[in-house]
Amino acid sequence: MSDITHLLPCPEPVQLIAADGTAVESSEQARERGYAMPEAEDLLAVWRAMVIGRRFDAQATALTKQGRLAVYPSSRGQDACQVAPVLALGEQDWLFPTYRDSMALVTHGIDPVEVLTLLRGDWHCGYDPQATRTAPQCTPLATQAVHAAGAAHGLARRGTDALALCLIGDGATSEGDFHEGLNFAAVFEAPTVFLVQNNKYAISVPLAKQTKAPALAYKGVGYGVRSEQVDGNDPAAVLAVMRAAYAHARAGHGPVLVEAHTYRMEAHTNADDATRYRTKDEVDGWTGQDPIVRLQAYLVEQGHLDDARIEEVRAEAEELAADLRTRMNAEPTVEPLELFDHVYAEPTPQLREQREMVRTELAGTATAAHGSTQTEDAT
C-alpha cells in the first residue's frame, strides 16, 4: 500500500495569527510544510487590499439597494480568502472565480466598474478574460473547476510555469464538476490550485447537510491530490499556505486542494434572508474573528502599522468608493442586439432568427415612438 501521508491535510486548520491578533506557534506538521509567517511588507499589502476590498464590497452592496445592480453576493468576512491568494499569483497565472469573488477581481487589478458590469446585467462579462487572465465570473456551481483544470493542463503542455487558481465555495463540492475537475487535474498533473472557501452555508444549506467528511480538504485525497486546510480568517496563514500550494503545482507535482475555514457575514445575496437559517449569536461569534481586525492588530503590535497609515488607507478606500459610485450612477449605453454577440463563433440559424426577431421588434418600437412624437408636435 502506497504512503499517502503527503496528501493528507494538517489535522487542524493552519493558523499563524490568533483572533486577537497575537502570533501563534503553528503545528509541527505545518512547520514541516514550510508555513512560516510572511514578511511584514507582504502582510501590509494584504491588509491594504482587504481594507480597500471591503469598502468596495460595502459600496457594491449599497448599489443593489439603489437599483444600480440586479444582484450582489457579498464576500465580507471572506476577505483574507479573496485577497491573499490573488496577491500571491504570478502575472502569467490564470484566475477562475465564482459569482462571489468580486473582491478578488478588484484585488487582481480589474476595474471595479468592469467587475460589476455582469451583475447589473448589461454585458456578458465586463472585462477582457484574455487580457486579465481571468475567466468570467461563474454562476453555475463548480463548472469552473473543470475549466481551470483544462486550462492548467494546456498551460503545462505549452511549457509554461503558469498555473490556474480555481475559487469555489463549499456548496460546489457537492457538484459533480468539482470531482471531475479534481480527478482530471490529478491524472494529468495539471498545475491547478483549488481553493474551497468554506463559509459554512450553500445558500441556506449548512455544511452538515452536505457532507460527513471530517473536513472538505480530505476530498482531495481520494483523487491523489495533495490537500490542506487553513484558518480562512487568518490572512497570514492563508498567504503562507497558498504560496506553498502554488510552489507545489508550479514545480510539476500536480494540483493542490486547499480548504479555507471562513464565514459569510452578509446574506447569500441581497435577495436572501439569512435570519431564516442562522442565528444572530452565530454571526456575532464570527464577527470576533474578523480577518482585517486580526491582521491590523498584529501589524500594529509588531510596530509595522500606525494610526496615520491606517487613516491614509481608509481615505484611499473612500476615494475609490466615491469614484465607483459616480461611474455606476451614470446610465450605461446599451445596445440590445449585442445580446447575441459572442454566444457562438459562427451564429446558429436559431440565434440568427432570434436576433432578427429582436431587431424587428426594436425597429417597430422606434417607429411607433417616432410617430407619437410627430402627433404631439402637430397638436
14 DSSP β-pair partners: 230
DSSP string, 174-231: GSHHHHHHHHHHHHTT--EEEEEEE-SEETTEEGGGT--SS-GGGGGGGGT-EEEEEE
What is the torsion angle, in degrees rounded to the nearest 10, for the CA atoms of residue 82, residue 57, residue 45 and residue 42?
Answer: -20
Distance CA 264, CA 76 (A): 6
Distance CA 68, CA 8 (A): 45
DSSP summary character for residue 21: S
Distance CA 19, CA 291 (A): 8
Exposure letters 261-300 (e unless 16+ CB within 10 A, then b): bbbbbbbbbbebebeeebeeeebeebeebbbbebbbbbbe
Could you tell me the CA-to-CA distances from 163 to 88, 159, 308 in Å, in that order?
Answer: 12, 11, 38
Distance CA 182, CA 257 (A): 8
Collect all residues with Cβ–Cβ distance below 8 Å to 284 and sequence separation of at least 6: none
Which residue among 246, 268, 294, 298 is the active-site one?
268
CB contact at 8 A, 23 and 17: yes
Exposure letters 208-233 (e unless 16+ CB within 10 A, then b): eeeeeeebbbbbbbebbbbbbbbbbb
- The answer to whether residue 108 is catalytic is no
Distance CA 295, CA 286 (A): 15
Which residue among 108, 120, 153, 264 is the active-site one?
264
Collect all residues with Cβ–Cβ distance below 8 Å to 355 and sequence separation of at least 6: 337, 340, 347
- The answer to whether residue 268 is catalytic is yes
CB contact at 8 A, 51 and 292: yes
Strand ranges, E, within the chain: 94-96, 164-169, 192-198, 201-202, 205-206, 226-231, 256-261
Which residue among 179, 218, 277, 355 is the active-site one?
277
Is residue 261 classed as helix, strand or coil in its secondary structure?
strand
DSSP summary character for residue 248: H
- The answer to whether residue 314 is catalytic is no
Give catalytic residues, as residue numbers. 264, 268, 277
